[in-house]
Amino acid sequence: MKLVAALVVSFAGLAAGPDKSAPQTGSAPASALPVIETFSRSARECAKCHAAESKTQPSTPMAHAAETTAECNVLKKHALMKTRLGRYDYRIERKGDQSLYSVSDGTETVTYPIRYAFGLGEAGQTYILEKGGEYYESFVSYYQAIDGLDITIGDQPLKPSSLVDAAGRHIGSHEIAMCFGCHTSNAVSGGRVVEKTLLPGITCEHCHGPTENHLLGLQKGDAELAEMKKLAGMSAEQSAQFCGECHRTWEYVAEHGPHSVGNVRFQPYRLTNSKCFDVDDVRISCTSCHNPHENVDRVAAHYDTKCGACHSGATETGGNAKAKICKVGTKDCATCHMPKTDLPGAHHQFTDHDIRIVAKNQPYPE
């Protein structure tokens, strides 16, 4: 409960700032979500005692939510990427450890160095450009499904009228702190991005908090000092708030939108809307279906026992007496009840966490 209370306070603390009503990939919501201050200790230091987590976590998409240009696999693998949108030609060219992003209208060309690549668990990757200490979000992104460039999600309505606008969207200091707060670690101090301490991606300490005292306490044999904040066994509501700090909470989406299929990416919102959701129940928490230290399991059968924890009819084994049993299917429950849903412009289908009976031709429940 303490954890949730702390999160609620930090949500309230950030209510001010420029608003953008429709958060989409690559165009971050600019208000209301907290910017998490983080710390920098590498997984290697935890491996000695927490072997399992330290082995798998560093290769998850979350750990790679951002990459430097030098380390970015997509940029390393593509010596040249190009596309034409309207009257503008876009090129991303590899030069040693760098990648240059340029846009031309046929007469003039502007070029920016790519500083960071954000994303690419599954869908796509957007580039953070920098010039003169100002940050820009690339107007085109890389998409895995087409192995090439297309407009960044959320930027479709923009009609660039100059070469500079066509290159990317300027990101103000508040918004860039939000982007880095969710995609990198140890990057935000006093509400500003501090690149000197930044670690790309989400580290152990980003979720678990600082470990200075943990390590010191273990060394001294002081159990109290060594104690970490408790994340295991969160209720459905607690996990929806905790993961929702980045994946967007129900409250956040309810207030800021999008109230359209655009919110299929925001699992805490979708799941909370489902009849399966019960705030106090651990069986429908994010961590009952997902291990945050491992890649998401893409085999439907993995989730059957999770559904069965409530929908088996076996109340004596902890099943929820109220939860009904399916007359249609006995396995791969999620394939019918958590439909893969196209997010327009994303070249990717997201899994709808609004678990429900999906009727044919039923409009998307927003």
Q: Which of residues 332-351 bind ligand HEC (CB under 6 A)?
A: 332-338, 350-351
Query: Binding ligand HEC by CB under 6 A: which of 330, 344, 364, 365?
Result: 330
Q: How far is the CB of 152 from ligand HEC (least distance, A)?
A: 8
Query: Binding ligand HEC by CB under 6 A: which of 18, 172, 233, 318?
Result: 233
Collect all residues with Cβ–Cβ distance below 8 Å to 120 and sequence separation of at least 6.
61, 64, 74, 142, 144
- Residues in 83-142 that interact with ligand HEC by CB under 6 A: 118-126, 137, 141
Binding part of the chain for ligand HEC, among 98-106, 157-165, 255-263, 277-285 by CB under 6 A, reads 277-285
The span from the first CA to the last CA of the chain, in angstroms, equals 29
Using Cβ positions, the residue closest to ligand HEC within the complex turns out to be 329
- Residues in 256-275 that interact with ligand HEC by CB under 6 A: 265, 267-268, 271, 275
Binding part of the chain for ligand HEC, among 8-16, 98-106, 188-196, 287-295 by CB under 6 A, reads 287-295
Binding part of the chain for ligand HEC, among 76-84, 159-167, 179-187, 254-262 by CB under 6 A, reads 179-187
CB closer to ligand HEC, 94 vs 290: 290
Query: Binding ligand HEC by CB under 6 A: which of 7, 11, 32, 57?
Result: 57
Q: Does 218 bind ligand HEC (CB under 6 A)?
A: yes
Q: Token digits for 325?
A: 């049993």
Query: Binding ligand HEC by CB under 6 A: which of 72, 103, 167, 207?
Result: 207
The torsion region of residue 26 among left (phi > 0), alpha (psi -120 to 50) and beta comes to left
- Residues in 310-329 that interact with ligand HEC by CB under 6 A: 310-311, 320, 322-324, 326-329
Collect all residues with Cβ–Cβ distance below 8 Å to 324 and sequence separation of at least 6.
311
For the purposes of burial, counting CB atoms within 10 Å of the CB of 346, is it exposed (0-12), middle (13-18) or buried (19 or more)? buried
Q: Does 247 bind ligand HEC (CB under 6 A)?
A: yes
Q: Are 175 and 192 in contact (CB under 8 A)?
A: no
Look at the block and give the residue holding tokens 């040249």: 80
Cα torsion angle, 218, 224, 228, 231, sign: positive
Q: How far is the CB of 107 from ligand HEC (least distance, A)?
A: 29
Single-letter amino acid code for the residue at 267: Q
CB closer to ligand HEC, 108 vs 280: 280
Q: Does 64 bind ligand HEC (CB under 6 A)?
A: yes
Q: Are 185 and 193 in contact (CB under 8 A)?
A: no
Residue 110: closest CA among 168, 149, 172: 168
Residue 176: closest CA among 10, 14, 30, 12: 30
Q: Does 240 bind ligand HEC (CB under 6 A)?
A: yes
Angle at 10 (CA atoms; ends 5, 13), nearest 5 degrees = 130
User: How many chain residues bind ligand HEC (CB under 6 A)?
Assistant: 109
